[in-house]
Amino acid sequence: MSLDHTAADDLDQPAPRPETTPPPQLEALRTQLEARQFDAGLAGRPCRLVRAGAPARSLRVRRWRARAGRSDRWLLDGCQGPTVDLGCGPGRLVSALIERGVPALGVDSSALAVQLCARRGAVALHRDVFDPLPGEGRWHHALLADGNLGIGGDPVALLRRVRRLLGPRGSVFVELAADPGLWRGPARVLEPDGTASNWFPWAVVGADAIGAVAEAAGLRLGRLHRRRRHFAELHRV
C-alpha cells in the first residue's frame, strides 16, 4: 500500500522554519491558544472539525465526556500494563483503566481537560505530548484515541515520539478514521454559533494508511479492529 502524494512526499520532510524566531512571550501565547483549541467540545458544546480542502466532521463531544462505553472496550482490553493516554481529554479512558486496576496516566495540553480528569479521580498532567514525561521508555502501552493521532499534523513525528515512551515490548493503540487515506493540513474547531478556534495543524489517518505511517515511525502494524470505530495496535520494531 502506498500513501497519497501529499503523505508520501512529506513523511520525512521537516516543516519549513520561519525566517525570524518569534519573541518568547508570543510563542507562549500561541502555545496557550493551541492548547485550548478543543475546549469548547470539552465543555460540552457541540462542535465540528473543519479541515481545509476536506469535509468537516462532527466531534464526538458526548463520548468524550461520558463514561467509557462498549465501543472503547477493545482499547481497554488491550491495555494489560501501565498505560499513558495522550490527549486524554476529560479522562474517560484513564478512569476506566484505573477502575480495572491498570496503572494509567493522562496527558493533555488543555488545562480544562486536566481539571475534568481530576473530577473523575483520574491523574493527568498538563503538558504537551512532546514535553518530557514520566516513565519514558518504560510504558507498556500508549493510547491515541478519539482522533489524537492527528495531534501536531504529522502522525509519523508523533508516533516516533510515542515510540520513545514505550518499553521494548510496548505498543500504542491508535484510533483511525473511517475514511481512507492520509490527510494533513490546517483545521479549526467550529461551534454552531460560528465561533471558531484559530487554525492549527492536524492529520487524519485511515486504516489503509496506518501501516505505512507506522513503518516510517519505526513501528509495526499488529492487530486491526474495524467495526463501528476503527483501531490499530502498533508495536516497536
**pLDDT per residue as tens digits for the range 149-166:** 999 999 999 999 999 999
Per-position DSSP letters for the chain, written without gaps between them = ----HHHHHHTTPPPPPPSSPPPHHHHHHHHHHHHTTTHHHHTT---EEEETTEEEEE--HHHHHS---GGGHHHHHH--S-EEEET-TT-HHHHHHHHTT--EEEEES-HHHHHHHHHTT--EEE--TTS--TTTTTEEEEEE-TTGGGGGG-HHHHHHHHHHHEEEEEEEEEEEBSS-SEEEEEEEEE-TTS-BPPPEEEEEEBTTTHHHHHHHTTEEEEEEEESSSEEEEEEE-
pTM of the model: 0.85
**pLDDT per residue as tens digits for the range 59-99:** 999 999 999 999 999 999 999 999 999 999 999 999 999 99
